[in-house]
A and B are shown apart, each in its own frame.
Chain A
Amino acid sequence: MLKIDNLHASVEGNEILRGISLTVNAGEVHAIMGPNGSGKSTLARVIAGHQDYEVTAGEVLFDGQSLLELEPEERAWAGVFMAFQYPIEIPGVNNAYFLKAALNAQRKARGEDELDAMEFMSLIRGRIRDLDMDPALLNRPVNEGFSGGEKKRNEILQMAVLSPKLAILDETDSGLDIDALRIVANGVNALRSPERAIIVVTHYQRLLNYIVPDFVHVLSDGRIVRSGGKELALELEERGYSWIEAETRPAAVVA
């Protein structure tokens, strides 16, 4: 589904991603871990099409199509979704209207009928309940004044409603207490299906107890320095990141 090949990306002339290759097939859940500043969010945002990053080399294919040539909204229409590490507050834009507009824009782009207000409300009512989210948040401006946890739930609500083919969750676990974490994880697990793929970006292993990944990759200084199964996450939990970084540093110097 997603094929990233030798991806290099810079911001303001600094190279952040230094040759990432990663293949994610339908039905798989991949976790991307790594220390702060290693480029996890950059990778997620480059896939989503954020304007700050310049791709200097490499390719990102999504269902065989080059994502890098698409505008952010076209990537969304193709089925890419990124839950933001820091969701944006948008004063003056009603959360429910926003979500309905987003859903209908995607449906329209795919040649599906748009939902009217009634259909939309019945669709989200259940999702809100599943996420144990305060329905009042729907009638507030997007993310404005939401607590950290409310913002993260709102991201997951959007994901649940938009039901993307590829969901990238950037540190969705940060700022959540254990109950909220479980609820959010259930939301993500509900999306798991043979047609979909999920990339979970996280700093801690904790979330991976609830969203069990098929593969774990460790990102360090803009490169994937190790890949493995779910046991890699446990090893990282025990030993930290430094042993991997120590092991890989000489290689980096040689390269």
Chain B
Amino acid sequence: MSGVQTHTGTASHYGRLRERVGRHEPAWLTDFRDRSLGRFEDLGFPLGSDEEWRFTPVGAIAETPFGPADVPNEDDIQAALARALYGSADFAQLVFVNGMFRSDLSDINGLPRSVEVGSLRNACQSHSDIVRANLGAVASGGPSFTSLNGALMDDGAFIHLPAGVLVDRPIHIAHVSLSGDSPIGVHPRSLVIVGEGSSAVIVESFHGAGDMPYLTNGVFEAVVGPNAGLEHYRLQMEAESAYHVGRTAVRLARDARYTSHSVAFGAAISRHDLGAVLGGENGVCTFNGLYMGDRRQLLDSHTVIDHATPHCESHELYKGILNGHAHGVFNGKVFVRKDAQKTDAKQTNQALLLSDTARIDSKPQLEIFADDVRCTHGATVGQLDADSLFYLRSRGISLEDARSVLIHAFASDIIDRMSLAEIRSQLEGVLLASLPKTSTAFWEMAE
């Protein structure tokens, strides 16, 4: 059968790629890569028969021999960075081009001295013990893509806050992919450790350019220590030609706070697996998600919130806007373990279908093993509200503008939850650009 042949074929392709990476790395890392490759080869790419991948066929990814990236030309890099970076903003930035750290384009000034920020590949040497102890510890298991990342991992950020540092300056991890004459695969990997009582704001972004298909297969793992806080923005703004697969895995200690703002706008196929384990009492986990698709885009968000301890809270709100033949997938799991009494979990997902051919498959999945808990979930799927449209139109606002206003209102509910003004205005810009132009007069007062 062709499916089986595909697996052997790609496995050996990736096995050969594995031999080309990590020649001068510490032995533990070599071992990590080999174990990851072994798991990937055992599992293969997910098939449609796998419940977790039912709606997201990855045949196109499995069958494309994504190769190692070239070094792109500087003009293309600059053009891509112009879109990816927050020029005037007060952000520290780490830039990765096709998975390679570019210290010359990065800027980590203005951060407290005690904070360690840089390339994870470098940290594997310089901070070997701490990386070794944490790499793959939070992002364990998971889809085979995680293991493929482990085997081939390029570079990404290493961010370590010791105890008791509050870092106000957001740290931007910018991934830029530029494919050349043949399809490339980039496997970014970041590790973030927030020490007790510390807090950080991290912006992870994915941009790309070019018509040639490319694969981004990223893993981001974070450990949020006791009474620590992490606000994490993840902006998937890949080129149309991209296949984007991402995994975010977070572990919260007692009294910790983690907020994810996950945005998926780009790529032909986009899949994000976001998981947080509430591993200590009084943890608070917030997932805000916004995905917006058009044409034949497929945007898949799989989330897991694992209430492993009592007295934790989770708030999840995902919203999708689908036009054209776009297909959205939302799967939200909430586990409440037997001991996790007094859990307060709320999940909402909403999708707006703007065309008859757009489609959403959404599945909330609450598995509750404790008895003294408050868990709610709600899902709505639909078109723009006819009564709201009529109300706006009856006041003289054109149908097109009325639609834009309502779409904007739907999405801004998520954008307004973000604390960074730069990101809000960036996303606002993307959103407005996707709406019919005539409506812009409506917004001038808002700006």
A contact residues vs B (CB 8 Å cutoff) = 48-51, 71-73, 75-77, 81-82, 84, 87-88, 90-94, 96-106, 109, 114, 117, 141-142, 158, 162
Contact = CB atoms under 8 A, between A and B. Distances in A.
B394 interface: yes
B406 to A, nearest CB: 7
Given A48-B394, A114-B441, A162-B396, A94 B446 contact: yes
B442 A97 contact: yes
B281 to A, nearest CB: 34
Chain B CB within 10 Å, residue with most, of A50, A72, A84, A117? A72
A76 B394 contact: yes
Interface stretch (B156-164, B287-295, B360-368, B409-417): B409-417
B390 A90 contact: no
Contact of A72 (B393, B413, B445): B393
A124 B397 CA distance: 18
Contacts of B442: 97, 101
A76 B393 contact: yes
Interface of B: 386-388, 390-399, 401-402, 405-406, 408-410, 412-413, 441-446
3 A-B pairs closest in CB distance: A92-B409, A76-B396, A102-B395
A101 B404 CA distance: 12
Interface of A is mostly: helix
30 contacts: A48-B394, A49-B390, A50-B390, A51-B390, A71-B399, A72-B390, A72-B393, A73-B393, A73-B397, A73-B398, A73-B399, A73-B402, A76-B394, A81-B395, A87-B391, A90-B392, A90-B406, A91-B413, A92-B409, A94-B446, A97-B442, A98-B405, A99-B395, A101-B397, A101-B401, A102-B397, A105-B397, A105-B398, A106-B396, A142-B391
B408 A92 contact: yes
Contacts of A103: 396
B445 A97 contact: yes
A100 B393 contact: no
A168 to B, nearest CB: 10
Nearest to A79: B396
A90 B391 contact: yes
Interface of B is mostly: helix
Nearest to B393: A72
Given A91-B413, A96-B445, A158 B408 contact: no
Given A93-B409, A100-B445, A117-B444, 20 more contacts: A49-B393, A50-B390, A73-B394, A82-B394, A84-B391, A84-B394, A88-B391, A90-B388, A90-B392, A91-B413, A92-B408, A92-B409, A92-B410, A97-B442, A97-B446, A99-B395, A101-B397, A101-B401, A105-B397, A105-B398
A175 to B, nearest CB: 18
B29 to A, nearest CB: 48
Contacts of B444: 117
Contacts of A50: 390
A33 B413 CA distance: 41
Contact of B405 (A84, A93, A106, A158): A93
A86 to B, nearest CB: 9
Given A50-B390, A90-B406, A105 B445 contact: no
Given A91-B413, A97-B445, A105 B396 contact: yes
Nearest to B444: A117
Contacts of A71: 393, 399
Contacts of B441: 101, 104, 114
Contacts of A114: 441
A104 B397 CA distance: 9
Nearest to B413: A92
A88 B409 CA distance: 14
A203 to B, nearest CB: 22
Contacts of A97: 442-443, 445-446
